[in-house]
Structure 1
């Protein structure tokens, strides 16, 4: 009888141990499932926010492309008149085509979601590692856009502006900025300049500027840099759209 009791108790104890182990395993599985579920939600929210940033990025890039495409048109027009001295341009037209060249844009990238996730340690929980590498490379490549944009700004400051320092700006009217493309409204500026009457009776010889060989060099240099910018913008747009497709179609 004692042996039978011992056997029963032993079987009972083993059964209890098995049940406890099974309970622990189930609890661990549930905990893992919950952690995976939380990680999945975090990853989904991350990529949803990244898609919003990419949408903003694309809008900016399209604006930059339009801005620089118009710049090429203005440079092309000026070069046509520079190389054809028998074709009169007129002071007002000269002003309207030269003025947009003084404007440049500062590139913006929408990477708030990416940078916030990187600083908060979210990256370690994201399973789509290859996609994260591509996203990281996309944002790292933004420096190429910055450098090309800055090259235009420096070129204008160092080449175009000094050439026109001695050229009286009495040619400005309220219509001078008509072709200027800028995210901020510049109409008030030109109207303000035009509202101050110039009583100096200066003879503004714009042809002297057009006949200056340096202007041709500046136009061609500006045009080359602008074509380079457009090429980089177009490449970035392609990369952006491919990246967006991969994010949308990720497993």
Structure 2
């Protein structure tokens, strides 16, 4: 094809047809420019398609991650309901029973539970590596960043505060009175026993009774924050589903 155009151009030059040659040269330039523009447009379309495919891939992975996070956090909040109940149950048992039995051993083991949330971040890490601008929806992009950069870390701080409280206050006082053994058959893997002598002491120990209230308080604070994160996850899941369906 190039040889063909060269042949025409050379023929015009040889025939001294300058005007026609200039028109032809201009036309050739226009054709080249059009070809370049078409090639650039095709390249742009390919880039846009690749970006859209990448966005869809990231959103799908985020959706999988968030679904797993939601299930885990809902389980944690459910465990926290048990912890709140256990704090009251232990107090009532001590108040109304002169002798320890298996009922108190079961609920005491619940007081040692400190659920902790470990979010799945593979989708968000992929988004960060590719650049957050991959998400074309500004509102959705902002909501994703808020969840991973603010809600999750904020909730983590609540959990860490509860863990410190447990290590400094709950665990020492529980171990002061109760003997703990690992038992795989127990729901929380703890087998707690207390002697009659220690049980008599615990019934009049104001520090232990205050500890029960403090455990419930710390747990309720984490639970309240966890419920807020659950709402954020559910909202973001709905937004991602809507974006993928459009």
TM-score range, shorter chain: 0.7 to 0.9
Q: Which residue in 2 is equivalent to 1:51?
A: 63
Cα pair distance change 1:241/1:164, threshold 3 Å: closer
Cα pair distance change 1:54/1:165, threshold 3 Å: closer
The reply on whether 1:35 has 2:47 as its aligned counterpart is yes
The reply on whether 1:169 has 2:179 as its aligned counterpart is yes
8 Å Cα contact 2:127/2:134 also seen in 1: no
CA RMSD between the two structures: 2.7
Residue from 67, 86, 103 that aligns with 2:113: 103
Residue from 150, 157, 177 that aligns with 2:160: 150
Measured in 2, the distance between the counterparts of 1:168 and 1:243 equals 44
The reply on whether 1:130 has 2:139 as its aligned counterpart is yes
SS state of the match for residue 205, structure 1? helix
**Pairwise CA distance, 1:124:** 3.7
Cα pair distance change 1:48/1:86, threshold 3 Å: closer
Q: TM-score, normalised by structure 1?
A: 0.81
Residue from 74, 82, 89 that aligns with 1:77: 89
List alignment gaps of at least 5 residues for structure 1.
181-185, 195-201
Greater fraction of residues in helix: 2
Measured in 1, the distance between the counterparts of 2:236 and 2:54 equals 19
Measured in 2, the distance between the counterparts of 1:86 and 1:6 equals 115
Q: Which has the larger radius of gyration?
A: 2
Q: Which residue in 1 is equivalent to 2:123?
A: 113
Q: How many residues align?
A: 229
Q: Which residue in 1 is equivalent to 2:199?
A: 206
Measured in 1, the distance between the counterparts of 2:182 and 2:134 equals 59
**Pairwise CA distance, 1:204:** 4.0
The reply on whether 1:16 has 2:28 as its aligned counterpart is yes
